Amino acid sequence: MIDRNTPRSMGWSDCQETSGDSEPDCRDAWLLQQIAGLDTEVEQRCALILEVLREKALDLQTDYTEAMLRERRTCQPSERGRIGLRVRTATTSAPGMFQIEWYRVQGKQRTKYLRRGKDKHGRPRMQYSLASFGRLTRWEEALILHYEPQCARLRALLHHIGQLRRDFHPLTTEARALVALGELDQDTTVEIEGDCI
């Protein structure tokens, strides 16, 4: 059974006691206040989670770079490898969002970011396939197989947080539209089969 009474701690009962004849207005104000509070709470929680995820991504980048440099010191020049891992923020990213990308060194001052490719639905894949990296040394392949699943999990979490933010924002817009429709209904009369309501 659904409890139609809103707890006093949420402020609705206080609104009921003081509203008198303006109960719909009070309900609308309460609804908008609760949704705005929920929107703020979601944004704050997402920001906290994104900070922790960014730290984890930077730790992975550091661990990979240290392991890569150790391997490069022991290899001959032809086996040194050219794959790197970078955590970066795009200029068009939403607040707190970042990208975890692999790249190939193509000279002293030049890198090329590798493409992840698309899944069967045409969306960017969360995980790079080994084919995305091109020619690899054995030790690079081993490092990539170790670090890429962790990076893919972080990318998936970032994707879901972004999706949550995108899906949540229309809630405020829809609530405002509902309240606006309610205000219009109070001022209009409707005629149904000759009777006015």
Give the pLDDT mean for 153-174.
Answer: 91
pLDDT attached to residue 143: 97
Residues 6+ apart with CB under 8 A from 79: 137, 139
| Exposure string for 136-174, b = 16+ CB within 10 A, e = fewer | bbebbeebbeebbebbbebbebbeebbeebeeeeeeeee
Q: Which three-class secondary structure state does DSSP give residue 97?
A: coil
pLDDT attached to residue 157: 97
Tokens of 16: 């009921």
Query: Residue 74: how many CB atoms within 10 A of its CB?
Result: 9
pLDDT attached to residue 123: 82
Asked if residue 1 has pLDDT above 50, the reply is no
Give the DSSP H/E element, type plus range, for residue 154: helix 138-187
pLDDT attached to residue 136: 94
Identify the weakest region by mean pLDDT among 12-26, 33-47, 176-190: 12-26
Q: Are 164 and 52 in contact (CB under 8 A)?
A: no
pLDDT digit string, tens, across residues 53-65? 999 999 999 999 9
Q: Are 148 and 162 in contact (CB under 8 A)?
A: no
Give the pLDDT mean for 98-113.
Answer: 90
pLDDT digit string, tens, across residues 32-89? 899 889 989 999 999 999 999 999 999 999 999 999 999 999 988 888 889 999 999 9
pLDDT digit string, tens, across residues 109-150? 788 999 988 888 888 889 999 999 999 999 999 999 999 999
pTM of the model: 0.77
pLDDT attached to residue 185: 56
